[in-house]
């Protein structure tokens, strides 16, 4: 059972702090956002690093900072421009919240970052971890942090027997994080524990022999490092079938902007909706055979094979009529994309239909874009794949 934090364990705490900091002095990683104490750059990096690896973040971070070098420039940007630069990173609410928070900082705080974890938490999209990270890295506040790597490391270090994601275990770990963080070098300490968690105290096969905390680790002492942290139940996935319909008029495509209540709010997409799997049984798609044509980015297209006209299933036909006013009878099945969003395994059937633009009534969410404009619009990752395919194969490849 967990024994920490305890006021009487001052010696243990002192040893942990000094082992962590000594290790960091010799092994700390040099990363673009560690070379600065600018809260703006630290904030951008921390938001990008949520749910995303360091390697994936680096090019996005550089591009983003080039486009928006200051909080003022980010606040003044169009949300679509921000989303376009975020495209591919996923979890787009992060980008929308960044933009909102930049406006709050500029409008209500004269462009100055709040300088404590408590005040930072009032900004959109800043939770306890991000507040602690900015406060410690930029302002040297001994604020606690807890994210995936430190959660695992601390759980093992104190031999936490309860689920660290559940309320009680999580609360205890936050208390521990606040108790253990170095008062003298909080920024280095917090960076170090994240590094030790990600590089040494890994989910599988933690490298205890090379861990600076081996002599302090309760899980290691008890031989329980492989069974901790206590694992939460596995996510149960739900299978979903959706169609994405590219409505084309000569060289233009009809797109819809996703609304606030939807996933990927603010991003653009082809007309897309859920269907029952049995309603699309009659559709057959070109098979992946070999890489042939080059797409708009100079990449090879994965899809090859004839694209033929197929009757549009009745349910799709009537849903499409409701959404656009168009009554179409045929479509071209273009490709099938499979992807996972939170707990949904999505089979996305991508179709294209040639339409007469006059047949579409005015709709506030729908707009025509040509292929060049498509390249600048923020699209979801699956919509971008479909758009690249359409551009690479031409509009009517029958």
Does position 75 interact with ligand SF4 (CB under 6 A)? The reply is no
Does position 201 interact with ligand SF4 (CB under 6 A)? The reply is yes
By C-beta, is 228 or 254 nearer to ligand SF4?
Answer: 228
DSSP 266-300: T-EESEEEEE-GGGGTT----------SB-TTSPB
Interacting span for ligand SF4 (CB under 6 A) from 30-38, 151-159, 299-307, 310-318: 151-159
Put residue 319 in one of left, alpha, beta given phi > 0 → left and psi -120 to 50 → alpha: alpha
Which residue of 208, 275, 341, 360 would you call a contact of ligand SF4, by CB under 6 A? 208
| Helical ranges in the chain per DSSP H | 10-27, 39-49, 54-67, 71-76, 79-86, 93-109, 117-120, 128-139, 148-157, 167-180, 186-199, 218-222, 314-324, 371-376, 381-393
By C-beta, is 101 or 201 nearer to ligand SF4?
Answer: 201
Interacting span for ligand SF4 (CB under 6 A) from 26-34, 216-224, 300-308, 350-358: 216-224
- Contact between residue 150 and residue 177 where contact means Cβ atoms under 8 Å apart: yes
- Contact between residue 130 and residue 120 where contact means Cβ atoms under 8 Å apart: yes
Helix, coil or strand: residue 335: strand
> Nearest distance from residue 227's CB to ligand SF4, in Å?
11
Which residue of 151, 200, 245, 247 would you call a contact of ligand SF4, by CB under 6 A? 200
Interacting span for ligand SF4 (CB under 6 A) from 87-95, 105-113, 212-220, 377-385: 212-220
Q: Which residues contact 85 (CB under 8 A, 6 or more apart)?
A: 60, 63, 64, 67, 95
Does position 150 interact with ligand SF4 (CB under 6 A)? The reply is no
- Contact between residue 159 and residue 224 where contact means Cβ atoms under 8 Å apart: yes
DSSP 99-139: HHHHHHHHHHHTTPPP-SHHHHTTSTT--HHHHHHHHHHHH
> Nearest distance from residue 185's CB to ligand SF4, in Å?
20
Residues that bind ligand SF4 (rule: CB under 6 A) add up to a total of 15
Could you tell me which of 243, 255, 253 has the C-alpha nearest to residue 366?
A: 255
Does position 230 interact with ligand SF4 (CB under 6 A)? The reply is no
**Residue of 35, 46, 147, 367 marked active site:** 46
Tokens of 123: 């900004």
By C-beta, is 189 or 386 nearer to ligand SF4?
Answer: 189
By C-beta, is 158 or 246 nearer to ligand SF4?
Answer: 158
Put residue 19 in one of left, alpha, beta given phi > 0 → left and psi -120 to 50 → alpha: alpha
By C-beta, is 25 or 62 nearer to ligand SF4?
Answer: 25
Interacting span for ligand SF4 (CB under 6 A) from 141-149, 203-211, 241-249, 317-325: 203-211
- Contact between residue 301 and residue 224 where contact means Cβ atoms under 8 Å apart: no
Is the link from the previous residue into 181 a cis peptide, with omega within 30 of 0? no
Put residue 138 in one of left, alpha, beta given phi > 0 → left and psi -120 to 50 → alpha: alpha
Sign of CA dihedral 365, 366, 367, 371: positive
Does position 229 interact with ligand SF4 (CB under 6 A)? The reply is no
> Nearest distance from residue 19's CB to ligand SF4, in Å?
10
Which residue of 85, 213, 355, 390 would you call a contact of ligand SF4, by CB under 6 A? 213
238-249 vs 344-354, strand pairing mode = parallel
> Nearest distance from residue 200's CB to ligand SF4, in Å?
5
Interacting span for ligand SF4 (CB under 6 A) from 8-16, 78-86, 215-223, 229-237: 215-223
Does position 214 interact with ligand SF4 (CB under 6 A)? The reply is yes
46 an active-site residue?
A: yes
Distances (CA, A) of 251 to 235, 246, 306, 372: 42, 12, 20, 10
Does position 177 interact with ligand SF4 (CB under 6 A)? The reply is no
Does position 157 interact with ligand SF4 (CB under 6 A)? The reply is yes
By C-beta, is 203 or 325 nearer to ligand SF4?
Answer: 203
Does position 211 interact with ligand SF4 (CB under 6 A)? The reply is yes
Which residue of 13, 94, 99, 156 would you call a contact of ligand SF4, by CB under 6 A? 156
Instruction: List residues with catalytic annotation.
Output: 46
Interface residue list for ligand SF4 (CB under 6 A) = 153, 156-157, 200-201, 206-208, 211, 213-214, 217, 219-220, 225
């Amino acid at each position: 059972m967990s024994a920490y934090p305890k006021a009487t364990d001052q010696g243990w705490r002192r040893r942990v702090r000094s082992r962590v900091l000594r290790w960091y002095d010799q092994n700390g990683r040099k990363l673009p956002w560690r070379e600065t104490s600018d809260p703006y750059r630290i904030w951008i990096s921390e938001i990008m690093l949520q749910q995303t690896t360091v390697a994936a973040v680096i090019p996005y971070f550089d591009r983003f900072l080039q486009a928006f070098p200051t909080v003022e420039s980010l606040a003044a940007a169009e949300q679509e421009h921000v989303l376009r630069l975020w495209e591919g990173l996923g979890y787009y609410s992060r980008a929308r919240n960044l933009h909102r928070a930049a406006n709050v900082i500029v409008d209500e705080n004269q462009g100055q970052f709040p300088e404590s974890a408590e005040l930072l938490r009032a900004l959109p999209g800043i939770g306890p971890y991000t507040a602690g990270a900015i406060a410690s890295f930029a302002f040297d506040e001994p604020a606690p942090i807890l994210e995936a790597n430190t959660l695992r490391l601390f759980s093992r270090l104190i031999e936490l027997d309860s689920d660290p994601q559940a309320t009680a275990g999580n609360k205890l770990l936050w208390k521990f994080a606040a108790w253990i963080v170095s008062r003298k070098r909080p920024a280095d300490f917090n960076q170090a524990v994240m590094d030790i968690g990600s590089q040494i105290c890994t989910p599988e096969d933690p490298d205890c022999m090379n861990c600076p905390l081996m002599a302090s680790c309760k899980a290691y002492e008890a031989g329980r490092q492989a069974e901790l942290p206590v694992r939460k139940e596995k996510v149960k996935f739900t299978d979903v079938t959706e169609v994405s319909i590219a409505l084309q008029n000569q060289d233009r495509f009809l797109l819809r902007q996703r609304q606030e209540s939807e996933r990927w709010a603010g991003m653009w997409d082809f007309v897309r909706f859920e269907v029952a799997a049995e309603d699309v049984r009659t559709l057959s798609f070109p098979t992946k055979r070999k890489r042939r044509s080059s797409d708009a980015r100079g990449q090879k297209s994965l899809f090859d094979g004839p694209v033929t006209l197929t009757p549009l299933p009745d349910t799709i036909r009537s849903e499409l009529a409701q959404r656009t006013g168009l009554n179409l009878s045929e479509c071209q099945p273009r490709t099938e994309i499979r992807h996972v969003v939170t707990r949904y395994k999505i089979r996305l059937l991508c179709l294209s239909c040639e339409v007469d633009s006059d047949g579409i009534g005015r709709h506030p969410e729908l707009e025509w874009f040509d292929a060049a404009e498509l390249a600048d619009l923020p699209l979801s990752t699956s919509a971008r794949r479909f758009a690249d395919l359409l551009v690479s194969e031409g509009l009517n490849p029958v």
